[in-house]
Amino acid sequence: MFFIKSLGTHISEHKGHKEMSLANPMVEFLDPEYVYIPLVDQNTPCEAVVQVGEQVKVGQIIAHKKSRFPLPIHASISGEIVSIDKKMWHSSGKMVPTIQIKNDFKETKVDTIKEVDVSSITKEEIIEKAKENGIVGLGGSGFPAYVKYKVSDPIDVVIINAVECEPYITIDYKLLQDRFDEVLRGLKYIMKAVDAKRGVIAIKKDKKELIEKMNLSINNEPNISVFTVKDEYPAGWEKYIVQRVTNKNYRTLPSEAGAVVNNAGTAAALAAAIERNQPLVEKMVTITGEGVKTPCNVYVKVGTAINDILDKIGGYAPNLGDAYFIAGGPMTGKSIMFDSLVVHRALSSVIVMPKEVREVNPECMGCGKCSEVCPVFLSPIVIKETLENDSVNELRTLRPDLCMECGLCSYICPSRIELTDAVTKAKQKVMVK
């Protein structure tokens, strides 16, 4: 095992473009005419349990993810099921079947969504509520939260990862700014679920006003603190955060270092699940980029189509022309062909960027910059060349399996070589048994 480099790559505020969505107030869009609930979750097919023509309520279970870690999927609006196989674009870069619901605009909720007395709630009940209400990691992973809480290792600390080091994305910052109490309550529920002695909120040290506000809010919380990291990418990577908070390393899971890590949005969603039996049917997404007329954070129903959200906030920028449509962050997200992408539980952002023609030199200049910036000490260009030579045994010695797919090698390369794609392919190749 090894420690990740403390030196990352600083992406300046101008290049980070976070000010674009923060310059405008958050928008609520909770009444779309249709929602499209994907029947795919973490690349796992889901089974619908409703029929076309059926009337459903907000929070009603409409599908099940049946896998090693099963999870229910809920209706985010009330209305009529009009299709259970309509194909829509997904952040995976594929078109997937969805359950299409036509909104009756009554917002009729299932009877179980109501205020709950949590004064004597147990750790087992917290874990079960997380499962019943479909709470997943909202930092992009979509991993079921209840699985993280069912740990066998002793847990010392729960870390709320609000570093948000990817350019453009500002959901966590906005959540901590506007809904810190919910995040804090969610953190306390997680601490109780895993018997953690302390809680930590990790954030970039340049967010000075927000840090001051949070410190005032937790002044009487001796077991909860704010932990700051440098303004560098990829400081929000889970292993990076855990190593710096705990001064420990781990092979597979943070629990090996006595830590459980959740995103700020996950903590807020868990608080709603515990206190109101509220399934994960609403969430915030950042809609931003130079191609958007009014970049902002939008609070939406899960299953809302991005083109409907864009219409709500003013559409595309004038004279946009050809553009990149990116699901997720620009460093690790997927380019999508059309704007009929839907908001699923784990989607964090959509970025619209005008296409720029960049000169590509397919030949490596030998500058070594890709190796210098790699957080896990890999040599991306050597891995790419070895992959092209189809030498699997030699590839294994170069350890592409350690790649975190942060995108820094491609970002820094002066020849614009697609190194991240090559290393990801090499990683997949050596991990095949």
Task: Check pLDDT > 50 for residue 116.
Answer: yes
Task: Check pLDDT > 80 for residue 128.
Answer: yes
Q: In this predicted structure, what is the pLDDT of residue 81?
A: 98
CA 216, chain centre distance (Å): 27
| % the chain with pLDDT above 90 | 66
Q: In this predicted structure, what is the pLDDT of residue 13?
A: 45
Q: In this predicted structure, what is the pLDDT of residue 63?
A: 98
Q: In this predicted structure, what is the pLDDT of residue 14?
A: 45
Task: Check pLDDT > 60 for residue 386.
Answer: yes
Q: In this predicted structure, what is the pLDDT of residue 7?
A: 46
Please give the radius of gyration of the chain, using alpha carbons only, rounded to the nearest integer.
22
Task: Check pLDDT > 90 for residue 413.
Answer: no
Q: Kindly state the average pLDDT of the residues 181-196.
A: 98
Say if CB 285 and CB 324 are below 8 A apart.
no
Q: Kindly state the average pLDDT of the residues 124-152.
A: 94
- Give me the DSSP letters along 395-424: HHHT-GGG-----HHHHH-TT---HHHHHH
Please identify which residue in the block is written with the tokens 């009877």.
Answer: 111
CA 418, chain centre distance (Å): 23
Please identify which residue in the block is written with the tokens 């030498």.
Answer: 391
Name the DSSP letter for residue 103: E
Through-space distance between the first and last CA atoms of the chain, rounded to whole angstroms: 22
Question: Token pair of 81, please?
Answer: 């099921």
Mean pLDDT of the chain: 91
Task: Check pLDDT > 60 for residue 6.
Answer: no
Q: Kindly state the average pLDDT of the residues 109-122.
A: 95
Condensed to tens digits (0 to 9), the pLDDT of residues 48-96 reads: 999 999 999 999 999 999 888 999 999 999 999 999 999 999 998 899 9
The domain ranges of the chain are: 113-276, 371-431
Please check whether the domain covering 113-276 is classified as CATH 1.25.40.10. no
How far apart CA 367 and CA 369 sit, in angstroms, is 6
Say if CB 159 and CB 202 are below 8 A apart.
yes
Q: In this predicted structure, what is the pLDDT of residue 433?
A: 53
Q: In this predicted structure, what is the pLDDT of residue 333?
A: 85
Higher pLDDT, 101 or 391: 101
Task: Indicate the pLDDT class of residue 359, thresholds 50, 70 and 90.
Answer: low
Q: Which residues pair with 96 in a beta bridge?
A: 88
Q: In this predicted structure, what is the pLDDT of residue 15?
A: 52
Residue 268 CB neighbour total at 10 angstroms: 26
Please identify which residue in the block is written with the tokens 């079947």.
Answer: 97
- Listed in sequence order, the residues at least 6 apart from 308 whose beta carbon sits closer than 8 Å to its beta carbon are 29, 32, 33, 34
Task: Check pLDDT > 50 for residue 259.
Answer: yes
Task: Indicate the pLDDT class of residue 360, thresholds 50, 70 and 90.
Answer: low
Distances (CA, A) of 247 to 57, 84, 353, 413: 47, 48, 39, 31
Which helix (H) or strand (E) covers residue 326, if one does? strand 323-327
Q: In this predicted structure, what is the pLDDT of residue 361?
A: 66
Judging by beta carbons within 10 Å of its beta carbon (0-12, 13-18, 19+), is residue 92 exposed, middle or buried?
A: middle
- Listed in sequence order, the residues at least 6 apart from 223 whose beta carbon sits closer than 8 Å to its beta carbon are 191, 197, 198, 199
CA 395, chain centre distance (Å): 30
Q: In this predicted structure, what is the pLDDT of residue 209?
A: 94
Condensed to tens digits (0 to 9), the pLDDT of residues 303-327 reads: 999 999 999 999 999 988 888 889 9
Task: Check pLDDT > 60 for residue 399.
Answer: yes
How far apart CA 360 and CA 365 sit, in angstroms, is 12
pTM: 0.88
Question: Token pair of 365, please?
Answer: 């200049």
Name the DSSP letter for residue 128: H
Task: Check pLDDT > 50 for residue 239.
Answer: yes
Q: In this predicted structure, what is the pLDDT of residue 50?
A: 98
Q: Which residues pair with 34 in a beta bridge?
A: 102
- Listed in sequence order, the residues at least 6 apart from 346 whose beta carbon sits closer than 8 Å to its beta carbon are 42, 91, 136, 137, 138, 140, 141, 142
Pairing of strands 282-288, 349-354: parallel
Q: In this predicted structure, what is the pLDDT of residue 365?
A: 84
| % the chain with pLDDT above 70 | 94
Q: In this predicted structure, what is the pLDDT of residue 341?
A: 93
